[in-house]
């Protein structure tokens, strides 16, 4: 067909423009249908929310019997029970595989700095989430003034709360930790009036602190057993794949489950306007927190650790951040992120190719959202949390967000888990599905920004190690095909700088 013809390379943008001018471009209808297929889970979930809301509002005028409402909500109840069933083994295998696969000895200080930075920024986001959700109190603004009183009345359990964290970090029975956690129980003394007796007791709910601690220790030690770890890792990887397939299958029942729960919830809600205002205030809290971290805290961390204005670096990340916003997927923005790091920002590929794949455990935006959502649901149900509960949430949410699955609305699966951790009703999580599709667009850029700033910080702190590694490769006569060294001159002083690209 093309014999005797010379092929001319045309830039992509120019080719697309030519096709459109000649009427040969993809029809708008086909583009819309193609995009709809990619976003079909989101569309189905929104339809479930809308249909559930319409049915719920329509049935509110009828005085339905309790059994009828139970049957309406039953599909959602089964869905939440299935999620709870899968969450614990999924998180356990994910944490063990992640810690065992990270070879600290091989990657040395770069790996340590990356993990420390990931953990610190995640911790900052969780702490910021707890502070904001307590200050704004979106679950019930009328009770915001009571927060300080609640802390005053619980001052005596600060020490006990810290001790409870230690007890839960190291449970005396791993199997019991999957069903119950330890806490200090206060009772009025029977011996003296006004005195309070306390004892260490257990309560129903998974001890996530103990599970996380054991999995991290197990995975870390397993990672050091070079020849022997392969068999166990293979088994865990197969287990993880099986759980992911089951979880993916269960997730596709989300539209039906969400519609079911929302319909039943609307029927039983006494004050629909109050719930709407609570969700609006929750949305404000989330967006305010995202903006605060994205434009203030992250930039301040960059300036302190690198000693330069972050503006130039941040602006060059624009295409990647916009892609993350448009697709609500960090994975979808990775190709353009790699390209920006190599071509525009001239970052060292050794750091880029180590940090970005590992970035799946760095979820700054998700960790903030997770803790705010859990406390919000507790506030909606007037569940009083003590100091020990907030400390436990601070630690648990920091590490549990690192096991975020690559499935639609995965963060809400973790919200279900942590609601069980503080004995909050998981059915209210369904209300968040109505707005999660919108908030996810802002959550993903924060997750990606954390990875990109990690690259800059780790490269700055690892200058000596990177130079030594490059020198070693040159001495051994090895040149990484993914890296070439180019020399340019700076405009300020004319000195030569070598960039590995």
Distances (CA, A) of 82 to 76, 402, 446: 10, 21, 30
Q: In degrees, to the nearest 5, what angle opens at C-alpha 284 toward C-alphas 281 and 285?
A: 90
pLDDT over 60 (residue 14): no
- Residues 355 and 453: their CA atoms lie apart, in Å, by 10
Distances (CA, A) of 471 to 244, 318, 348, 465, 488: 42, 33, 14, 10, 19
pLDDT over 60 (residue 182): yes
Percent of the chain with pLDDT over 90: 21
Residues 445 and 324 sit within 8 Å (Cβ to Cβ):
yes
Per residue in 281-332, pLDDT tens?
999 999 999 999 999 999 999 999 999 999 999 999 999 998 888 777 787 7
Q: Which two tokens stand for residue 324?
A: 């993350």
Q: Which two tokens stand for residue 252?
A: 């596709």
* Predicted pLDDT of residue 408: 58
Least confident span in 111-120, 174-183, 286-295, 375-384? 174-183
Distances (CA, A) of 180 to 110, 124, 170, 174: 38, 28, 13, 10
Least confident span in 10-24, 346-360, 461-475? 10-24
Residues 250 and 79 sit within 8 Å (Cβ to Cβ):
yes
Per residue in 241-263, pLDDT tens?
898 888 888 888 888 988 898 88
* Predicted pLDDT of residue 3: 43
Burial class (CB in 10 A: 0-12, 13-18, 19+), 226: exposed
Mean pLDDT for all residues in the chain: 78
**pTM over 0.85, yes/no:** no
- Residues 360 and 17: their CA atoms lie apart, in Å, by 36
Higher pLDDT, 195 or 330: 330
- Residues 332 and 326: their CA atoms lie apart, in Å, by 10
Distances (CA, A) of 209 to 89, 123, 216, 315, 442: 14, 15, 11, 39, 29
SS3 25: coil
Q: Which two tokens stand for residue 151?
A: 């802390």
Least confident span in 74-88, 353-367, 433-447? 353-367
Higher pLDDT, 470 or 314: 314
pLDDT over 90 (residue 129): yes
Q: Which two tokens stand for residue 195?
A: 């005195």
| Pure H helices in 404-494 | 410-421, 430-461, 463-475
Least confident span in 32-36, 269-273, 354-358, 382-386? 32-36
pLDDT over 70 (residue 377): yes
* Predicted pLDDT of residue 359: 72
Per residue in 486-498, pLDDT tens?
333 333 334 444 4
* Predicted pLDDT of residue 112: 84
Q: In the Cβ-directed half-sphere of 46, how many Cα atoms lie within 13 Å?
A: 10
Strands (E), 208-254: none
Phi/psi-derived region of residue 198, left when phi > 0, alpha when psi is between -120 and 50, beta in every other case: beta
């Amino acid at each position: 067909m093309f014999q005797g013809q010379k092929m001319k390379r045309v830039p992509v943008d120019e080719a697309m423009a030519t096709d459109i001018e000649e009427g040969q471009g993809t029809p708008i209808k086909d583009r819309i249908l193609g995009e709809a297929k990619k976003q079909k889970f989101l569309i189905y979930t929104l339809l479930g929310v809308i249909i559930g809301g319409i049915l719920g509002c329509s049935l509110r005028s009828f005085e339905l019997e309790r059994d009828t409402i139970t049957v309406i909500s039953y599909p959602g109840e089964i869905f939440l029970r299935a999620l709870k069933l899968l969450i614990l083994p999924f998180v356990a295998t994910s944490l063990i595989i992640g810690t065992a696969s990270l070879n600290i000895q091989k990657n040395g200080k770069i790996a340590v700095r990356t993990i420390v930075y990931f953990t610190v920024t995640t911790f900052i986001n969780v702490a910021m989430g707890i502070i904001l959700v307590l200050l704004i109190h979106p679950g019930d603004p009328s009770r915001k003034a009571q927060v300080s009183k609640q802390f005053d009345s619980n001052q005596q359990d600060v020490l006990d709360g810290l001790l409870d964290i230690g007890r839960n970090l190291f449970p005396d029975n791993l199997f019991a930790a999957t069903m119950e956690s330890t806490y200090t129980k206060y009772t009025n003394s029977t011996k003296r009036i006004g005195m309070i007796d306390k004892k260490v007791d257990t309560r129903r709910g998974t001890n996530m602190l103990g599970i996380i601690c054991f999995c991290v220790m197990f995975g870390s030690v397993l990672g050091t057993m070079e020849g022997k770890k392969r068999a166990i890792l293979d088994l865990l990887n197969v287990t993880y794949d099986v759980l992911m397939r089951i979880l993916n299958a269960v997730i596709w029942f989300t539209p039906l489950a969400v519609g079911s729960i929302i319909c039943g919830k609307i029927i039983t809600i006494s004050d629909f306007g109050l719930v709407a205002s609570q969700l609006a205030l929750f949305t404000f809290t989330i967006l305010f927190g995202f903006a605060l971290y994205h434009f203030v805290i992250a930039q301040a961390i960059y300036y302190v650790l690198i000693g330069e204005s972050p503006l130039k670096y941040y602006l060059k990340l624009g295409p990647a951040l916009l892609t993350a916003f448009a697709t609500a997927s960090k994975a979808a923005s990775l190709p353009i992120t790699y390209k920006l790091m190599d071509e525009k920002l001239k970052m060292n590929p050794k750091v880029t190719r180590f940090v970005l794949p590992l970035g799946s455990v760095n979820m700054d935006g998700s960790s903030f959202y997770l803790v705010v959502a859990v406390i919000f649901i507790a506030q909606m149900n007037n569940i009083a949390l003590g100091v020990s509960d907030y400390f436990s949430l601070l630690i648990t949410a920091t590490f549990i967000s690192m096991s975020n699955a690559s499935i639609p609305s995965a963060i809400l699966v973790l919200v279900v888990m942590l609601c069980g951790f503080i004995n909050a009703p998981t059915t209210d999580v369904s209300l968040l599905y109505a707005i999660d599709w919108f908030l996810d667009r802002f959550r993903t850029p924060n997750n990606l920004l954390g990875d990109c700033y990690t690259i800059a910080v780790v490269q700055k702190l690892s200058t000596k190690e990177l130079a030594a590694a490059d020198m070693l490769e040159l001495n051994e006569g090895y040149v990484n095909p993914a890296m070439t060294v180019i020399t340019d001159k700076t405009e300020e002083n004319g000195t030569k700088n070598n960039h590995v690209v």
